[in-house]
Amino acid sequence: MTQEIITSPQNQYVQEARALLSQPKARRKLQAFAAEGARLVEDGLRSGVRARYLLARTVHPARVDAVLSQCPETLPVLLVEDKLFDSLADTVTSQGILGVFDLPAWNLPDGLNFALILDQLRDPGNLGATLRSAEAAGAQAVFLTPGTADTFAPKVVRSGMGAHFRLPILQLDWETLAVILAGLNVFHADMGGEISCWQADFRLPCALLIGGEAEGISPAAANLVTLSVRIPMAGRNESLNAAVSAGILLFEVLRQRSSGGTL
C-alpha cells in the first residue's frame, strides 16, 4: 500500500475523482465510478469489483483506518489534505474516504426468474433505494431503460448501500429486453391495476415493472406488460413513492416464494 499527501487541486487523482463524482460523461469515458463513505468502500473491496485507488482525508476517524487496513498492498491509497478532500466530497459531512472502482461488467444471470425493470425513474434517491431493496429481496437482475437516472451518480450509489457491487444492473434497449423477458410474466405496478398485488401469483418466473412517479411507464414498456397490479391502501393518498411501491412488491415476491408455494 502506497501513500502520499496530496495538497494540489490539480493532482490527477483529485481531478479524476471530482470528474467521476460530477460528470456522467467522465464515468462512461473512464469506465469507473466513485463510492464515498467507509461502508461503501468496504463493500467494494469485498465484492471483487476492481478498485483503482482510494483517497482518504489526512485526519479521519478510526472507522476509516479499519477500512484501510483491509486494502491489498498493491492498491494505491492517497492521503488528501483536509480542506481539499472536503471540497471534493459529495456529502456535507464526509467520513473522509472515497474509492474509485471499475464499472462492474455484469452478465445476464442463468435461469432468470426474478427481475426488476425500472422505466423513466429519474429521481436518484428513489433509484438508489429501489436498487437496495431489489438486492435485499433477492432479485437476480435490475434492467434500466432509456430515461432512467444515471445508475452510478453519487446519490444513487449512496442510496444503494452497496447494491451496485452485488446486484447485476444492466442498461438495455427495448428490443433486447423483450427477448430476455420472453417466458416471464411482467407485472406493472399501477394504482389502477387489474388485481391486488396480494392476489397476483409471483411464484412463477416474473419481472416487476416500476415507472417514474411523474410520467409512469413509456409506451414501449406497456407493450411488455402481462398484468397490472395495484397496492391496496387504506388512506386517501392516490399513489405511493416509486421506491416504496417497488419495495412492497419485491418483498411480496420473496414472501410468496418463501411460504411453501402458497399465496
3-state secondary structure of 40: helix
| Angle, helix 242-257 to helix 124-137, in steps of 10 degrees | 10
Domain residue ranges of the chain, discontinuous segments joined by +: 5-102, 114-257
| Residue written as grid cell 444471470 | 109
Average pLDDT over residues 76-93: 89
Minimum mean pLDDT range among 43-52, 81-90, 113-122: 81-90
Confidence band for 62, pLDDT divided at 50, 70 and 90 = very high
Q: What mean pLDDT comes out for the span 165-169?
A: 96
pLDDT of residue 250: 98
Q: Average pLDDT in the 22-32 region?
A: 97
Residue of 228, 222, 160, 226 whose CA lies nearest to 194: 228
Note the pLDDT tens digit of each residue in 192-245.
889 999 999 999 999 999 998 777 899 999 999 999 999 998 887 777 899 999
Q: What is the pTM of this model?
A: 0.92
> How many Å apart are CA 263 and CA 259, to the nearest integer?
8
Q: Which carries the bigger pLDDT value, residue 89 or residue 113?
A: 113
Task: Record the cell numbers describing residue 66, joined without a space.
Answer: 479499519
Please answer whether residues 217 and 211 qualify as being in contact, where contact means their C-beta atoms are separated by less than 8 angstroms: yes
pLDDT at residue 2, as a whole number = 46
Question: Is the confidence at residue 84, as pLDDT, over 90?
Answer: yes
Mean predicted lDDT score pLDDT of the chain: 93
Q: What is the pLDDT of residue 237?
A: 73
Same fold, 5-102 and 114-257: no
pLDDT interval class at 1 (50, 70, 90): very low
Map residue 227 onto helix, strand or coil.
strand
* Integer Cα distance of 36 and 43 in angstroms: 11
CATH topology of domain 114-257: Alpha/beta knot (3.40.1280)
Which 8-state DSSP code applies to residue 115?
Answer: E
The pLDDT score that the predictor gives to residue 19 is 97
User: What integer pLDDT is reported at residue 182 of this predicted model?
Assistant: 93
Percentage of the chain surpassing pLDDT 90? 83
pLDDT for the residue 235: 82
Residue 131 to residue 71: CA distance in whole angstroms: 26
Q: Which CATH class is domain 5-102?
A: alpha beta
Note the pLDDT of residue 3: 61
